[in-house]
Amino acid sequence: MANILITGGAGFIGQNLVHTWRKTRPDDRLTVIDAMTYAANITSLEPLIESRQINLVKGSITDGALLRDLFDQHQFTRVAHLAAESHVDRSIEDPEAFLTTNVLGTFALLKASLDFWRANKLLEQSRFLHVSTDEVYGSLSAHEPAFCETTPYRPNSPYAASKAASDHLVRSFEVTYGLPALITNCSNNYGPYQHPEKLIPLMIIHALEGKALPIYGDGSNIRDWLHVSDHCEALIAVIERGHVGETYNVGGGNEQNNRNVVGLICETIDRAFAKDSKLKDRFPACPAADDRSCRSLITFVTDRPGHDHRYAINATKLANELGKRCSVDFAAGLEQTVRWYIENEAWWRAIISGSYRTWIEKNYGNRSAV
Protein backbone atom coordinates (compact mmCIF):
# COMPACT_ATOMS: atom_id res chain seq x y z
CA MET A 1 0.00 0.00 0.00
CA ALA A 2 1.30 3.49 -0.87
CA ASN A 3 0.08 7.05 -0.49
CA ILE A 4 -0.10 8.60 -3.95
CA LEU A 5 -0.49 12.21 -5.06
CA ILE A 6 -1.78 12.68 -8.61
CA THR A 7 -1.62 16.28 -9.82
CA GLY A 8 -4.00 17.31 -12.62
CA GLY A 9 -6.10 14.21 -11.90
CA ALA A 10 -9.28 15.90 -13.17
CA GLY A 11 -7.80 16.39 -16.65
CA PHE A 12 -7.93 13.98 -19.58
CA ILE A 13 -4.96 11.72 -18.82
CA GLY A 14 -5.31 12.31 -15.08
CA GLN A 15 -8.86 10.92 -14.94
CA ASN A 16 -7.83 7.88 -16.96
CA LEU A 17 -4.83 7.35 -14.68
CA VAL A 18 -6.98 7.62 -11.54
CA HIS A 19 -9.38 4.96 -12.88
CA THR A 20 -6.55 2.64 -13.99
CA TRP A 21 -4.76 3.03 -10.66
CA ARG A 22 -7.94 2.47 -8.65
CA LYS A 23 -8.77 -0.70 -10.56
CA THR A 24 -5.31 -2.22 -10.58
CA ARG A 25 -4.02 -1.12 -7.15
CA PRO A 26 -7.11 -0.94 -4.93
CA ASP A 27 -5.11 -0.74 -1.69
CA ASP A 28 -3.21 2.43 -2.57
CA ARG A 29 -4.55 5.69 -1.12
CA LEU A 30 -5.05 8.25 -3.90
CA THR A 31 -5.22 12.02 -3.50
CA VAL A 32 -5.84 14.23 -6.52
CA ILE A 33 -4.91 17.91 -6.52
CA ASP A 34 -6.40 19.90 -9.36
CA ALA A 35 -6.95 23.65 -9.84
CA MET A 36 -10.15 22.83 -11.75
CA THR A 37 -9.31 25.00 -14.74
CA TYR A 38 -11.51 24.98 -17.86
CA ALA A 39 -9.78 21.67 -18.81
CA ALA A 40 -10.88 19.81 -15.67
CA ASN A 41 -13.93 17.64 -15.29
CA ILE A 42 -14.83 15.55 -12.26
CA THR A 43 -17.98 13.83 -13.53
CA SER A 44 -16.15 10.52 -13.91
CA LEU A 45 -14.46 10.91 -10.52
CA GLU A 46 -17.61 11.75 -8.55
CA PRO A 47 -18.51 8.14 -7.66
CA LEU A 48 -14.96 7.59 -6.39
CA ILE A 49 -15.04 10.80 -4.36
CA GLU A 50 -18.44 9.98 -2.84
CA SER A 51 -17.37 6.46 -1.89
CA ARG A 52 -14.11 7.88 -0.47
CA GLN A 53 -12.00 5.84 -2.84
CA ILE A 54 -10.11 8.99 -3.72
CA ASN A 55 -9.58 12.31 -2.03
CA LEU A 56 -10.00 15.38 -4.28
CA VAL A 57 -8.33 18.64 -3.29
CA LYS A 58 -9.26 21.70 -5.30
CA GLY A 59 -6.12 23.82 -5.36
CA SER A 60 -3.12 24.90 -7.36
CA ILE A 61 0.29 23.25 -7.48
CA THR A 62 1.72 26.76 -7.31
CA ASP A 63 0.49 26.96 -3.68
CA GLY A 64 3.51 25.78 -1.68
CA ALA A 65 1.77 26.05 1.70
CA LEU A 66 -1.12 23.88 0.53
CA LEU A 67 1.32 21.29 -0.84
CA ARG A 68 3.23 21.23 2.47
CA ASP A 69 -0.01 20.64 4.41
CA LEU A 70 -1.04 17.86 2.03
CA PHE A 71 2.30 16.07 2.35
CA ASP A 72 2.11 16.34 6.17
CA GLN A 73 -1.45 15.07 6.22
CA HIS A 74 -1.19 12.23 3.68
CA GLN A 75 2.53 11.27 3.82
CA PHE A 76 2.84 10.76 0.06
CA THR A 77 5.67 8.55 -1.16
CA ARG A 78 4.61 8.63 -4.83
CA VAL A 79 3.87 11.74 -6.89
CA ALA A 80 2.51 11.45 -10.43
CA HIS A 81 2.73 14.97 -11.78
CA LEU A 82 0.34 15.64 -14.66
CA ALA A 83 -1.05 19.11 -13.82
CA ALA A 84 -0.32 21.51 -16.64
CA GLU A 85 -1.69 23.94 -19.12
CA SER A 86 -1.63 21.59 -22.10
CA HIS A 87 -3.09 23.14 -25.26
CA VAL A 88 -0.59 24.48 -27.81
CA ASP A 89 -3.06 26.91 -29.45
CA ARG A 90 -3.88 28.48 -26.08
CA SER A 91 -0.17 28.86 -25.34
CA ILE A 92 0.17 30.85 -28.55
CA GLU A 93 -2.74 33.14 -27.56
CA ASP A 94 -1.72 33.58 -23.93
CA PRO A 95 1.54 31.98 -22.76
CA GLU A 96 1.67 33.36 -19.21
CA ALA A 97 -0.49 30.72 -17.52
CA PHE A 98 1.79 28.09 -19.08
CA LEU A 99 4.83 29.51 -17.35
CA THR A 100 3.01 29.89 -14.05
CA THR A 101 1.65 26.35 -13.85
CA ASN A 102 4.12 24.34 -15.91
CA VAL A 103 7.31 25.95 -14.61
CA LEU A 104 6.57 27.61 -11.25
CA GLY A 105 3.98 24.98 -10.30
CA THR A 106 6.43 22.17 -11.06
CA PHE A 107 9.08 23.97 -9.01
CA ALA A 108 6.70 24.31 -6.00
CA LEU A 109 5.83 20.61 -6.24
CA LEU A 110 9.48 19.56 -6.49
CA LYS A 111 10.32 21.65 -3.45
CA ALA A 112 7.41 20.34 -1.35
CA SER A 113 8.30 16.73 -2.27
CA LEU A 114 11.99 17.19 -1.50
CA ASP A 115 11.38 18.99 1.80
CA PHE A 116 8.96 16.33 3.05
CA TRP A 117 10.96 13.30 1.90
CA ARG A 118 14.21 14.73 3.29
CA ALA A 119 12.71 15.70 6.65
CA ASN A 120 11.13 12.26 7.04
CA LYS A 121 14.05 10.24 5.62
CA LEU A 122 11.85 8.93 2.81
CA LEU A 123 14.03 9.85 -0.15
CA GLU A 124 15.09 6.33 -0.94
CA GLN A 125 11.68 4.74 -1.02
CA SER A 126 9.81 7.62 -2.70
CA ARG A 127 9.28 8.40 -6.40
CA PHE A 128 8.44 11.60 -8.32
CA LEU A 129 7.13 10.93 -11.84
CA HIS A 130 7.07 13.97 -14.11
CA VAL A 131 4.76 13.48 -17.09
CA SER A 132 6.06 15.39 -20.08
CA THR A 133 5.72 15.52 -23.82
CA ASP A 134 7.53 14.71 -27.05
CA GLU A 135 7.06 18.36 -28.07
CA VAL A 136 10.17 19.29 -26.06
CA TYR A 137 12.28 17.65 -28.82
CA GLY A 138 10.91 19.97 -31.51
CA SER A 139 9.91 18.92 -34.99
CA LEU A 140 11.16 16.13 -37.29
CA SER A 141 11.41 16.19 -41.06
CA ALA A 142 9.92 13.26 -42.98
CA HIS A 143 13.04 11.07 -42.93
CA GLU A 144 14.66 11.85 -39.57
CA PRO A 145 14.72 9.03 -37.01
CA ALA A 146 12.12 9.11 -34.23
CA PHE A 147 12.85 10.98 -30.97
CA CYS A 148 14.80 8.96 -28.43
CA GLU A 149 15.66 9.86 -24.84
CA THR A 150 18.94 11.51 -25.89
CA THR A 151 17.49 13.70 -28.65
CA PRO A 152 18.44 17.33 -27.88
CA TYR A 153 15.66 19.62 -26.68
CA ARG A 154 14.40 22.16 -29.26
CA PRO A 155 10.93 23.30 -28.17
CA ASN A 156 9.02 25.47 -30.63
CA SER A 157 5.78 26.62 -28.95
CA PRO A 158 5.43 28.43 -25.61
CA TYR A 159 3.73 25.25 -24.31
CA ALA A 160 6.65 23.07 -25.40
CA ALA A 161 9.16 25.57 -23.96
CA SER A 162 7.37 25.57 -20.60
CA LYS A 163 7.36 21.75 -20.51
CA ALA A 164 11.05 21.69 -21.48
CA ALA A 165 11.82 24.11 -18.64
CA SER A 166 9.94 21.89 -16.20
CA ASP A 167 11.82 18.79 -17.41
CA HIS A 168 15.13 20.58 -16.80
CA LEU A 169 14.03 21.58 -13.28
CA VAL A 170 13.05 17.99 -12.48
CA ARG A 171 16.39 16.71 -13.74
CA SER A 172 18.26 19.34 -11.73
CA PHE A 173 16.45 18.33 -8.52
CA GLU A 174 17.45 14.71 -9.11
CA VAL A 175 21.10 15.48 -9.86
CA THR A 176 21.60 18.23 -7.28
CA TYR A 177 19.44 17.17 -4.34
CA GLY A 178 18.95 13.46 -4.95
CA LEU A 179 15.19 13.76 -5.46
CA PRO A 180 14.11 10.30 -6.73
CA ALA A 181 12.63 11.61 -9.98
CA LEU A 182 11.79 10.01 -13.33
CA ILE A 183 10.53 11.69 -16.50
CA THR A 184 8.31 10.37 -19.27
CA ASN A 185 7.96 12.10 -22.65
CA CYS A 186 5.01 10.84 -24.59
CA SER A 187 3.28 11.41 -27.89
CA ASN A 188 -0.29 12.53 -28.63
CA ASN A 189 -2.85 10.74 -26.51
CA TYR A 190 -6.44 10.02 -27.52
CA GLY A 191 -9.36 8.25 -25.84
CA PRO A 192 -12.21 8.90 -23.39
CA TYR A 193 -12.51 12.18 -21.43
CA GLN A 194 -10.30 14.24 -23.76
CA HIS A 195 -11.29 17.90 -23.79
CA PRO A 196 -13.11 18.89 -27.02
CA GLU A 197 -10.49 21.53 -27.88
CA LYS A 198 -8.01 18.81 -29.01
CA LEU A 199 -7.95 17.43 -32.58
CA ILE A 200 -9.73 14.07 -32.26
CA PRO A 201 -12.65 15.03 -29.98
CA LEU A 202 -13.07 18.36 -31.78
CA MET A 203 -13.43 16.60 -35.13
CA ILE A 204 -15.80 13.93 -33.76
CA ILE A 205 -18.08 16.52 -32.14
CA HIS A 206 -18.02 18.89 -35.12
CA ALA A 207 -18.87 16.01 -37.47
CA LEU A 208 -21.79 14.92 -35.27
CA GLU A 209 -23.04 18.50 -35.21
CA GLY A 210 -22.56 19.08 -38.94
CA LYS A 211 -19.94 21.82 -38.40
CA ALA A 212 -16.78 22.42 -40.47
CA LEU A 213 -13.80 20.17 -39.69
CA PRO A 214 -10.96 22.75 -39.56
CA ILE A 215 -7.65 21.15 -40.60
CA TYR A 216 -4.71 23.52 -40.08
CA GLY A 217 -2.56 24.18 -43.19
CA ASP A 218 -2.51 21.31 -45.68
CA GLY A 219 -3.04 18.61 -43.04
CA SER A 220 0.32 16.94 -43.71
CA ASN A 221 1.53 17.34 -40.12
CA ILE A 222 2.24 14.02 -38.46
CA ARG A 223 1.58 12.90 -34.90
CA ASP A 224 2.30 9.52 -33.24
CA TRP A 225 -1.08 8.59 -31.70
CA LEU A 226 -1.07 6.75 -28.39
CA HIS A 227 -4.18 5.39 -26.70
CA VAL A 228 -4.50 6.87 -23.22
CA SER A 229 -4.91 3.39 -21.65
CA ASP A 230 -1.49 2.37 -23.01
CA HIS A 231 -0.04 5.62 -21.69
CA CYS A 232 -1.48 5.09 -18.18
CA GLU A 233 -0.10 1.55 -18.01
CA ALA A 234 3.30 2.88 -19.06
CA LEU A 235 3.19 5.59 -16.36
CA ILE A 236 2.49 3.02 -13.66
CA ALA A 237 5.31 0.79 -14.96
CA VAL A 238 7.75 3.72 -14.87
CA ILE A 239 6.83 4.94 -11.39
CA GLU A 240 6.97 1.41 -9.97
CA ARG A 241 9.90 -0.13 -11.86
CA GLY A 242 11.73 2.67 -13.68
CA HIS A 243 15.27 3.66 -12.76
CA VAL A 244 15.57 6.90 -10.82
CA GLY A 245 17.08 9.73 -12.85
CA GLU A 246 16.04 8.17 -16.16
CA THR A 247 13.77 9.41 -18.91
CA TYR A 248 11.43 7.05 -20.78
CA ASN A 249 9.77 7.90 -24.09
CA VAL A 250 6.23 6.59 -24.55
CA GLY A 251 4.72 6.40 -28.03
CA GLY A 252 2.01 4.60 -29.94
CA GLY A 253 4.25 3.50 -32.84
CA ASN A 254 1.53 4.93 -34.99
CA GLU A 255 2.40 7.91 -37.14
CA GLN A 256 -0.52 9.47 -39.00
CA ASN A 257 -0.92 12.76 -40.77
CA ASN A 258 -3.87 14.94 -39.77
CA ARG A 259 -5.67 14.40 -43.09
CA ASN A 260 -5.66 10.64 -42.47
CA VAL A 261 -6.81 11.01 -38.88
CA VAL A 262 -9.73 13.24 -39.82
CA GLY A 263 -10.59 11.00 -42.78
CA LEU A 264 -10.64 7.94 -40.51
CA ILE A 265 -12.89 9.74 -38.02
CA CYS A 266 -15.30 10.60 -40.86
CA GLU A 267 -15.38 7.00 -42.11
CA THR A 268 -15.90 5.68 -38.58
CA ILE A 269 -18.86 8.00 -38.00
CA ASP A 270 -20.32 7.24 -41.46
CA ARG A 271 -20.19 3.51 -40.62
CA ALA A 272 -21.72 4.02 -37.17
CA PHE A 273 -24.71 5.87 -38.71
CA ALA A 274 -25.12 3.20 -41.39
CA LYS A 275 -25.32 0.52 -38.66
CA ASP A 276 -27.53 2.36 -36.17
CA SER A 277 -30.43 4.35 -37.63
CA LYS A 278 -31.26 5.92 -34.22
CA LEU A 279 -28.15 8.10 -34.61
CA LYS A 280 -29.88 9.93 -37.47
CA ASP A 281 -32.52 11.23 -35.02
CA ARG A 282 -29.97 12.06 -32.34
CA PHE A 283 -27.61 13.98 -34.65
CA PRO A 284 -29.76 15.28 -37.53
CA ALA A 285 -27.18 17.91 -38.62
CA CYS A 286 -24.51 15.26 -39.24
CA PRO A 287 -24.10 14.63 -43.01
CA ALA A 288 -24.26 10.88 -42.28
CA ALA A 289 -27.86 11.43 -41.16
CA ASP A 290 -28.58 12.14 -44.88
CA ASP A 291 -26.35 9.28 -46.04
CA ARG A 292 -23.60 11.71 -47.05
CA SER A 293 -20.02 11.32 -45.84
CA CYS A 294 -18.75 13.49 -42.99
CA ARG A 295 -15.76 14.11 -45.27
CA SER A 296 -17.91 16.81 -46.93
CA LEU A 297 -17.27 18.94 -43.81
CA ILE A 298 -13.46 18.97 -44.13
CA THR A 299 -12.11 22.53 -44.46
CA PHE A 300 -8.45 23.54 -44.68
CA VAL A 301 -7.83 26.69 -42.61
CA THR A 302 -4.93 29.04 -41.81
CA ASP A 303 -2.10 27.12 -40.19
CA ARG A 304 -1.04 27.21 -36.52
CA PRO A 305 1.98 29.56 -36.16
CA GLY A 306 5.19 27.56 -35.65
CA HIS A 307 3.30 24.33 -36.36
CA ASP A 308 5.63 21.36 -35.72
CA HIS A 309 5.70 19.15 -38.80
CA ARG A 310 6.25 15.70 -37.36
CA TYR A 311 6.53 13.92 -34.01
CA ALA A 312 7.58 10.28 -33.74
CA ILE A 313 8.69 8.35 -30.67
CA ASN A 314 11.25 5.61 -30.35
CA ALA A 315 9.93 3.68 -27.33
CA THR A 316 12.42 0.80 -27.29
CA LYS A 317 13.90 1.78 -23.91
CA LEU A 318 10.48 1.42 -22.24
CA ALA A 319 10.00 -1.97 -23.94
CA ASN A 320 13.51 -3.29 -23.27
CA GLU A 321 13.91 -2.08 -19.68
CA LEU A 322 10.36 -2.29 -18.35
CA GLY A 323 8.69 -4.71 -20.76
CA LYS A 324 5.90 -2.25 -21.59
CA ARG A 325 4.77 -2.17 -25.21
CA CYS A 326 1.81 -0.13 -26.41
CA SER A 327 -0.79 -2.46 -27.83
CA VAL A 328 -3.98 -0.59 -28.78
CA ASP A 329 -4.46 -0.65 -32.56
CA PHE A 330 -5.22 2.85 -33.89
CA ALA A 331 -8.27 1.98 -36.01
CA ALA A 332 -9.78 -0.02 -33.13
CA GLY A 333 -8.90 2.67 -30.57
CA LEU A 334 -10.39 5.38 -32.76
CA GLU A 335 -13.57 3.39 -33.29
CA GLN A 336 -13.90 2.91 -29.53
CA THR A 337 -13.23 6.64 -29.00
CA VAL A 338 -15.86 7.70 -31.56
CA ARG A 339 -18.33 5.33 -29.83
CA TRP A 340 -17.42 6.85 -26.44
CA TYR A 341 -18.20 10.40 -27.65
CA ILE A 342 -21.47 9.21 -29.21
CA GLU A 343 -22.49 7.49 -25.97
CA ASN A 344 -21.33 10.32 -23.72
CA GLU A 345 -23.06 13.23 -25.44
CA ALA A 346 -24.14 14.77 -22.11
CA TRP A 347 -20.49 14.89 -20.99
CA TRP A 348 -19.27 16.96 -23.94
CA ARG A 349 -22.45 19.04 -24.28
CA ALA A 350 -21.91 20.34 -20.74
CA ILE A 351 -18.38 21.41 -21.73
CA ILE A 352 -19.15 22.99 -25.09
CA SER A 353 -22.05 25.01 -23.71
CA GLY A 354 -19.77 27.06 -21.41
CA SER A 355 -16.72 29.28 -21.89
CA TYR A 356 -15.60 26.85 -24.60
CA ARG A 357 -17.67 28.88 -27.08
CA THR A 358 -15.51 31.94 -26.45
CA TRP A 359 -12.38 29.86 -27.13
CA ILE A 360 -13.77 28.48 -30.40
CA GLU A 361 -14.59 32.00 -31.56
CA LYS A 362 -11.11 33.25 -30.57
CA ASN A 363 -9.13 30.37 -32.14
CA TYR A 364 -11.14 29.73 -35.27
CA GLY A 365 -12.94 33.08 -35.88
CA ASN A 366 -9.96 34.63 -37.71
CA ARG A 367 -8.76 31.51 -39.54
CA SER A 368 -9.84 31.86 -43.13
CA ALA A 369 -10.38 28.81 -45.34
CA VAL A 370 -7.32 28.16 -47.52
* C-alpha span between 354 and 352 (Å, rounded): 6
Residue 194 touching ligand DAU (CB under 6 A):
no
* C-alpha span between 349 and 109 (Å, rounded): 34
* C-alpha span between 359 and 363 (Å, rounded): 6
Residue 227 touching ligand NAD (CB under 6 A):
no
Contact 20, 229 (CB under 8 A): yes
Residue from 85, 134, 174, 270 carrying the catalytic annotation: 134
Contact 327, 230 (CB under 8 A): yes
Residue from 34, 85, 137, 159 carrying the catalytic annotation: 159
Residue 187 touching ligand DAU (CB under 6 A):
yes
Residue among 90, 127, 130, 198 that touches ligand DAU (CB under 6 A): 198
303: phi > 0 → left, psi -120 to 50 → alpha, else beta; which? beta
Residue 40 touching ligand NAD (CB under 6 A):
yes
In the list ligand NAD, ligand DAU, none, the entry touching 57 (Cβ below 5 to 8 angstroms by class) is none
Cβ-proximal residues to 230 (8 Å cutoff; 6+ apart), any chain: 250, 252, 326, 327, 328
Nearest to 223 by CA among 300, 147, 324: 147
In the list ligand DAU, ligand NAD, none, the entry touching 36 (Cβ below 5 to 8 angstroms by class) is ligand NAD
In the list ligand DAU, ligand NAD, none, the entry touching 221 (Cβ below 5 to 8 angstroms by class) is ligand DAU
Among the candidate windows 70-78, 102-110, 194-202, 343-351, which touches ligand DAU by CB under 6 A? 194-202
* C-alpha span between 274 and 130 (Å, rounded): 44
In the DSSP assignment, the letter for residue 120 is: T
Residue 324 touching ligand NAD (CB under 6 A):
no
Catalytic, 246? Answer: no
Residue 215: enclosing H or E segment and its boundaries?
strand 213-216
Nearer Cβ to ligand NAD (14/287)? 14
Q: Which residues pair with 257 in a beta bridge?
A: 222
Nearer Cβ to ligand DAU (116/159)? 159
- Tell me which residues touch ligand NAD (CB under 6 A): 7-8, 10-14, 33-37, 39-40, 60-62, 82-86, 101, 105, 131, 133, 163, 186, 188-189, 195
Active site residues: 134-135, 159
- Tell me which residues touch ligand DAU (CB under 6 A): 86-88, 133-135, 187-188, 198-199, 202, 214-216, 221, 223, 258, 304, 311
